[in-house]
Amino acid sequence: MNKDRSADGLRGLAALNVLLCHLLISSYPRAFEGLYPGAAAADATPSKLDAIIGAPFLNVLWNGNFAVCVFFVLSGYVLTKSFVDTGSMASLQVRAARRYLRLSVPILGSTLLAYCFYAAGFNFADDMKLVTHSRWLDQFHDIPVSIATALREGLYGGIFLGKSTYAPVLWTMKIEFIGSMLVFGFRAINPKGWSGAVTAATTTLALVLWFPQDWPLYMGFLAGSYLGQVKLTSSRLLIGLLLIIAIYAGSFDFTGRYNYAAALPINDWGRKHLFNVLGAVALLYVVRCGIFDRVLQSRPAQFLGRVSYSLYLVHITVLFSIYSGTFSFLQRSSHLDYEATTAAAAGIAILASLVIADTFERIIDRTGIRLSRSVFPDTHLVDRGTARGDVSVMATPHDEGVGAGSNA
């Protein structure tokens, strides 16, 4: 399977989007009232940056839910790329067999890392909340220090139940796992013609009934799995139109700009998911057309792509410890204004997140790769050369990566 380096780069930038979302919603909750109503308490600290951060369409750069949808659409695309390229059913089998181990080893590592930080007393989210009055931070008040809880969520709570006490981003792991298996099963049937239309319709109906709010996320996996078969275009007009759709749908918020969407027979978050998935599909198609290759295949973007899954899993721990701690310290002991304090703390936190994610990827993430390949070697499942890795949402095709998304 040929490596899609631009998909790697997109994955990396999406992971950075999630990091920025959580940093900013902690510090400037008023700016997120459109994207995430209720993010700010009534007495939340106002800032001159609120208008910029919350600006229409600019907020797509730190809309964490849109990044989630990009991850899921990417997952459907990359998990089935080998099958689309070669028609080999075995490529689906090997990925399905490895899926739990490939996802769960880094998940377990991230929950144990969070436990170690919190057990050592490095959780300053409450201190930061007292200054910023971010209600997003408030939902993580008084995280229990329990090794048993960390182990449960790391081994099965996150991936099967979406439990996320220690690593709040683990709510997406349940969707990632189910979505992956859905794609494997659907593409294994490989329906075509009228039978394909019937299968797609019944699958969509089942998803709507079983997951009345999250069904657009699962549809994102299926849509992504077909993007590898869609004919690409060189039309600048079409690419420009799709890019506008990606930004417009990816910026969906609960302001008057999207009031017409209330006519859709789904709840608020279901509408947000639907718009963001549509934006993610449009964006990935544009990326596949090669329009952003120079940026996405650059060394910084490729680095972010390599560490994206690790960055996704560990950045909340960094936010609650290093970011919140640095912010609180500077607020008490420096003469910097609010914006300068936030910028200084964010710079330190972003650097720390990248360093920790790089280390985590080298030690924990690659261990998951080796373990999944050891338990389910290619030779036991497929002919040599047929399957070349368990790549997915935040995957890096060079190392049989993995995937997941995040939401604010």
Q: For residue range 36-74, what is the model confidence (pLDDT) as tens digits? A: 999 999 999 899 999 999 999 999 999 999 999 999 999
**What confidence tens digit (pLDDT) does each residue in 137-195 have?**
987 777 778 999 999 999 999 999 998 888 889 999 999 999 999 999 999 887 777 88
Helix (H, G, I), strand (E, B) or coil at 280: helix
In a domain, 406, yes or no: no
pTM listed for this prediction: 0.92
Which of 82-96, 305-319, 388-402 has the largest mean confidence? 305-319
- In this predicted structure, what is the pLDDT of residue 1? 52
Q: Distance between CA atoms of 186 and 203, rounded to whole angstroms? A: 9
- The DSSP output letter for 232 is P
Domain that holds residue 22: 5-399
- The number of distinct structural domains making up the chain is 1
Domain presence at residue 147: yes
Q: Is the pLDDT of residue 383 over 60?
A: no
CB 112 within 8 A of CB 311: no
What number of CA atoms fall less than 13 Å from residue 150's CA on the CB side? 19
The confidence band for 3, taking pLDDT boundaries of 50, 70 and 90, is: confident
Contact status, residue 246 vs residue 289, Cβ threshold 8 Å: no
Q: What is the per-residue pLDDT for 407?
A: 37
- The Cα 317–Cα 334 span in angstroms is 24
CA–CA distance, 285 with 361 (Å, rounded to integer):
28
Q: Is there a domain that residue 172 lies in?
A: yes
Does residue 408 fall inside a structural domain? no
Q: Is residue 356 part of a domain?
A: yes
Spatial separation of the C-alpha atoms in residues 372 and 391, rounded to whole Å? 12
Distance from C-alpha of 397 to C-alpha of 350, rounded to nearest angstrom: 25
In a domain, 86, yes or no: yes
pLDDT single digits (tens) 210-246:
999 999 999 999 999 999 999 999 999 999 999 999 9
- How far from 230 is each of 11, 224, 286, CA to CA, in Å? 20, 10, 11
404 within domain boundaries? no
pLDDT category at 408 given cuts 50, 70, 90 is: very low
Radius of gyration for the alpha carbons in the chain, expressed in angstroms and rounded:
21
Terminal CA-CA length for the chain: 34
CB distance 7 to 78 below 8 Å: yes
What b/e sequence results for 75-88 when a residue is b if at least 16 CB atoms lie within 10 Å of its CB, and e otherwise? bbbbbbbbbbeeeb
Is residue 380, in this structure, part of any structural domain at all? Answer: yes
Mean pLDDT of all residues belonging to the chain: 90
pLDDT at position 401 is: 42
* Confidence band, pLDDT 50/70/90 cuts, at residue 379: low
Confidence at residue 390, expressed as pLDDT on a 0 to 100 scale: 41
